[in-house]
Structures are given as structure tokens and as C-alpha cells.
Structure 1
């Protein structure tokens, strides 16, 4: 069945997290002349001050996509490159997800089958404990950990802000309250610190937390610096990858044990699969990261997880659990600390028009 894209919609929405913070996203919808629709998502858009104006973004997408056959996705994505400057990867990510969803629905097959076949039905994930700037946030994190443990989560990703007194108290309390039911999959320093500070914090927090790994311990830019810090740590070090070239630099410097591979950072399935191949040949580990996506973006990450053969560490695809609301009629599901790969054609999740309308809100970007 030959399809033509006849409509491109970009809808800004706002969703509240259980922490009370509101995040903003863009939902991309591609409609066709055969009434088959594909969905994409651009998450945490308020963090992206470099995104083009929504009117400009919509006009550029219309110019490339309307009238096109979605099966020509390679050519369509190439024609999008360079139109959005720094925002190219995240726009490409949203559009490529929508194109794959559209093609999968048209063919009656899942996205993971389009990517090479389903190798797994679920991915273990770690629930995030966000930065603890004061004792009240640490107490809220403990309450959230209790709630998630009761739902079957055992792995937790803890963001480190450097407030050692509070962070050490948190880990002591977590050990006392939860015992082995609370395992820290990683301490994420979010590339906040210079090497000396990062090492000082980690020497205090690693024994207290029992963390299995460390993520982004130092400020980005110099793989040799990261490599030196890695040599002084007793657990694996992971780092986010923003391009194939950056992944190669990290590997050449022997700076990481694990590549954190995110569809948002790399710009979609094609680039992510390329980095998975690179990691396999280099003999380093991989995990699937993210930016707290809703169910559309999370489903895409899970189909990627289902298709690759070298997925080595628990991932971060927990956005549908972080938010109070979702645009999907049936959000991504979780069981025993695992995110389940959706079944059905395309991404296996469908945007509910009523939910989309209820969550629609103007995009407010930070400057």
C-alpha cells in the first residue's frame, strides 16, 4: 500500500511529574491519505532554548514531509538535516520515530521488527531519585522509593548534587528502611563537577550507597580527563553519547566502560544502532538512556532495546512512571522493575486525542 503524508501536526503539551515539576514536550503526528497515522515525541522541550519557533518548526516539517512517501524515510531525514541548527538531532528523533510508527502500522508489524527483530520483551530499568538539595527532598525521595519498591522496582538511579550531608543521610536511611530491596544502579553526577570534586564526592558516596556504577562524573569536553577519573574508581563509568564521533573519542581515550545511548541525544534509531555496533566492536558495555519521555518516546526506546543484541546494563526508560499524565491511550507498562516492550503494530502505543487536547499547553522554553 503506497502512502502519502498529507498532514503534519506538532502539538506542545505540559505534563506534571510526581515531584510537582512540570515538563513540556512536543507530540508530532503524521497523517496519511490512507488514514494511517504515526506519532513521534520530542521530550523535555523546555530545556532546549535552541529549538526553533514552533511556527518555523511546523513550516519546515510541512515543506519536507507533506506529499512524501514515508517509505522514503532515509531521504526525508536527510532533507531535514541542517534546517534546525543545533536542534537537528532532536527534531530528527521525533520525526524518525513517527515515520517508523507509521510504516509499522501500515505494514501491520512492530517497530522492533523493522529494526531487525525482537530479541527481548522487557528491559530492566532504574527509577530516578532526583537531586537532593535539602533534607525535605531526600525525605520525599525516600517516600517515592518506598512506593516504587512496593510496585516491584529494586534498582534506582540517584542524581548527585554534592550536598554530602543530605546525600549520606539519604543512603543511610535507605539502607535502614529498605535493605537489599534498594539497589543503586548508578550515581549520576550529570557532568557537574571538576575531577577533584567528583572524586571527593564519590569516595564518600560509593561506600555509603553501594552503587554499581557512576555516570557522567566530570564536566564534558576532555575524554582524557574522564579516563583519568575512571582509572581511580572501583566501579564502571558510563557517559552519554551525542554522536558517533564523540563515542569514538571516548573509546579511543579508554574513558568509559559503558556508552549511554539515547535516541534523543543521537537523533533517532539509525544513529543509535550505529553506536551500538561501534560498542560491540570495541567490547564496551551499553545502556539505553533518555530524557524522561512519555509513552511515545519510551515505546521507541523499548523497541530499540528489543532489537539490539548487545544491551548490557539496565536502562533509564521510566518516564511514563515519572509523570502523572500521559498522551497514550494505554501507556507503557512496567512489571517487576522492567519496562515492557509494547505489542501491536508500529510503536504499540496510540495517542488519545482527548488526552492530547487536555494536556495541550504553550511551549515555554528556558533561556
Structure 2
């Protein structure tokens, strides 16, 4: 089997908050008539430069046409040489590698007539417990809005939430107080997510104030790649500390410094299922736990993450992928399913990713390019319009 063409389609999908996320759907066409699809999720984030989608399509055509899609290891090596790791969270080269890698798994599993989950080793679970994100408070007036988000999502079955913090600690504390008063033990706050916005000393001061309310863990409480600072925070904090893995080199440094208890691993941030599996195996050898992270993908990217997570033996903490619940729409006929706060895997009888593209929806949300227009840094951080 040979890849005969590569096609990219830019998608602009509005969130419920009004913020429009720009994603790219990739199709791999083959001489066997079996096509693979993948998702390059969330180009609408820092670093604030734009990918030229026409140029990217031509580049991927040069790299992939004529290749056997089963040569996943060698293709990933080519991708790493052309879109290298940069030790930066939200590095766009990782998004590109992830989209191609996902499409390779999809086309190979379809050709074999099996699910991607069986192609990569099977399942230890059919569902994954997830949490719903509560975006960062900048103003006290936003507390009531976020309490209402919790009410609505609780009615839909979500009982665990992740709170972005660090811009207005008074508002953050008021939110936690209100949640505790209204819901008691019926709602859990999985984590306080500092998103690398503060140094570890500032994060520690705020964490001490907020953790008088029940919280499971702390995420990203130091500047990016500050491995010493992350360790200093961890040594002071009684709660487990989590950090995203966006580079195998970065993961090695966190292991050397014993900076974290939990590795937050997601294919989108490290460049695909292939690299994510390496990071998960490394975490297991190092005796660290895992949770599944997210940039809030559409259904294609979320399904790929679910298959990856379903095979993990050290997935010890509640995970983050709730992207399809945050958008006004999707581009597939069969969105991923959530029930009672769990992400459910597609039926095992489905082949490949088990996703069927809805071309009417693709046309509805199709955009010309990935340009930034007038989006501000605050909008990027808070995912608001």
C-alpha cells in the first residue's frame, strides 16, 4: 500500500464561549482506496505565528506520497526531522506530527479491518473519567457565570471540574467557596491549573490559600521548563503535582529533577500516538502516574486520545479530554460520547478511528487559512471571545 495524496482542510470551530478555534483535518489517500484521517488540533494558541496551510500541504505531500503508511516509525522520524521538538508547550510542529501520525494509524487499522485500539495493543478500559474545564477568572463578576457553567454541566453528568487559576485569586477563592457551599461532596475539583503563568513561589502562595478547599492535584505551578522550580513547589506541596509532557527531552529533565508526581500526556502536545506511547512507557519506568491532557480537540483528535488512554496501565488520575462538549459543532457524523462524566470509546467493531466525516459540516465550518485576525493574548489564554 502506498500513500498517493495528502489533503488538508482548515476548520474554524466556535466554542460555547464564542472563541473560534482553528483546526486542520488531514486526509491520507492510498492506492488501495483506503483513506486515513487525522486532526491537527488548536492552532489558535501561542506561539502567535501562522502556519501557511497551502505550503504545509505541499510539504507533507513531498514527505509522504509514495510511502507505505505501515512504516510508522520511519515516517515519524522524517516528521521529527522536518518539524522538530522545540521544548515549547503548544509547539505547532507537534500539532502537525500528531495529525499525520493519527491518520497513519487510522489508515493502517482500516486496511486490516480492526479498531485503532486493537492496532496499538487493545483496551484495559472502555471508558475514561474526565473533568470539565472552568476558565480563568479575571474579574469577580465572572464567578457567577462559572458557577452557572458548573450547574449546567452537573445536570449533564459532569461531576469533576478543573479550575484555571492565577489571575484573580479573590475570585478563584470565591468560586471554590461557592462550589463547596452549593454542591458539597457532589462536585469535585480535580486540579488547580496555573498554566505556567507564575513562578513557583507565587504559585505556592496562591496554592496555600486555595487548597483549604478540597482539590486533588496541582498543575503547571512554575514557568515552562523550570525544572528546579517545579521540584521546589512539589517538595512544599502535600498534593500531587502534574506537568504536561511536550518533549521527550523535557520529560527526561523532569525525571532527573524529580519534579512531578504525574505526567500529563497527550498526543497533540508531543506529536502523536507514537510519541505519546513512548512518554507513557517512560513514565511507567520512572514510577510516575499519568493523566490524559488536552488542548480541547474535536471528535477525531479526542477519539485518538481515548484509544491511547484505554491501553495505559498507569492512568491513575481523572483526565481532561472534553473538547467536543466545548464547541458548538463538529465535523463528524458520530461525535464521541460522554455519559455520567466518562468519555466512552467507540464500539470495538468499528475500524480505524471509527469516525465518519460529515462533509456538509466540513463545508459549514471550513475556513480559508489559519490567520490570527485580531485575537489578543488574553483571549488565547482564557479561550473567550
Contact map agreement 1:242 1:266 (CA 8 A) in 2: yes
**Contact residue 98 and residue 268 of structure 2 kept, 8 A:** yes
Compute the RMSD of aligned alpha carbons: 1.6
Provide the residue aligned with 1:32 in structure 2.
Answer: 30
Contact 1:52 1:84 in 2 (8 A): no
Q: Distance in 2 between matches of 1:273 and 1:88?
A: 18
Q: What is the deviation of 1:49?
A: 3.4
Q: Distance in 2 between matches of 1:196 and 1:337?
A: 34
Cα drift, residue 90 of structure 1: 1.9
| Structure 1 residue aligned with 2:362 | 356
State whether residues 113 and 307 of structure 1, in contact with CA within 8 Å, keep that contact through their aligned partners in structure 2: no
CA contact (8 A) 1:261 1:286 kept: yes
Is 2:63 the counterpart of 1:64? Answer: yes
- 1:321 positional shift: 0.6
**Residue deviations 1:29-68 (CA, integer Å, cap 9, x gap):** 1122333221111111122534541121011111122232
- 2:116 is the counterpart of 1:92: no
- Cα deviation 1:239-267 (Å, max 9, x = unaligned): 01112221121112111010011111111
Deviates more, 1:178-187 or 1:85-94: 85-94
The answer to whether residue 84 in structure 2 is matched with residue 77 in structure 1 is no
Q: Which residue of 1 aligns with 2:339?
A: 335
Match of 1:41 in 2: 39
CA offsets, 1:145-196, max 9 Å, x none?
1111111111100000331221111111112222222210000000111122
**Which one of the candidate residues 320, 328, 334 is aligned to 1:316?**
320
Following superposition of structure 1 onto structure 2, how do residues 242-281 of structure 1 map, counting pairs within 5 Å?
242-281=246-285
Question: What secondary structure sits across from 1:71 in the alignment?
Answer: coil
Local SS of the residue matching 2:325: helix
SS of 2:24's partner is strand
The 3-state SS of whatever aligns with 1:46 is coil
- What is the match of residue 157 of structure 1? 162
Say whether the 8 Å CA contact 1:125–1:316 is kept in structure 2: yes
Q: For residues 198 and 73 of structure 1, what CA distance do their matches in structure 2 show? A: 41
Distance 2:295 2:287 in 1: 26
The 1:311–1:76 alpha-carbon spacing in structure 2 relative to 1, beyond 3 Å, is: same
Match of residue 189 from structure 1:
194
* Residues in 2 aligned to 1:138 and 1:41: alpha-carbon distance in whole angstroms: 33
Query: Once structures 1 and 2 are overlaid, which stretch shifts more, 227-236 or 33-42?
Result: 33-42
Q: Give, in whole Å, the separation in 2 of the partners of 1:161 and 1:35.
A: 51
- 1:211-226 alignment runs, 5 A limit: 211-226=215-230
1:100-124, CA deviations, whole angstroms, 9 ceiling, x for partnerless residues?
A: 0111111111111111111111110
**Map of 1:138 onto structure 2:** 143
| TM superposition score normalised by structure 2 | 0.91
Instruction: Give the conservation status (yes or no) of the 8 Å contact 1:51–1:84.
Output: no
CA contact (8 A) 1:60 1:83 kept: no
SS in 1 for 2:76: helix
Counterpart of 2:44 in 1: which secondary structure? helix
State the distance in 1 between where 2:338 and 2:353 align.
Answer: 16
Distance 2:82 2:37 in 1: 21
Give the secondary structure class of the aligned counterpart of 1:70. coil
Q: Secondary structure at the match of 2:133?
A: strand
| 2:129 pairs with 1:121 | no
Give ranges in structure 2 of 5+ residues lacking alignment.
87-91, 378-385
d(CA) in 1 for partners of 2:13, 2:82: 28
Partners of 2:113 and 2:142 in 1: how far apart? 46
* TM-fit CA distance, 1:230: 0.8
Equivalents in 2 of 1:305, 1:159: separation in Å? 23
In 2, the alpha carbon distance for the partners of 1:51 and 1:290 equals: 21
Contact 2:97 2:271 in 1 (8 A): yes
More displaced, 150-159 or 50-59?
50-59
Distance 1:336 1:122 in 2: 11
Unaligned ranges ≥5, structure 1:
none
The correspondence of residues 12-27 of structure 1 with structure 2, limited to 5 A, is: 12-27=10-25
* Local SS of the residue matching 1:220: coil
TM, length-normalised to structure 1: 0.95
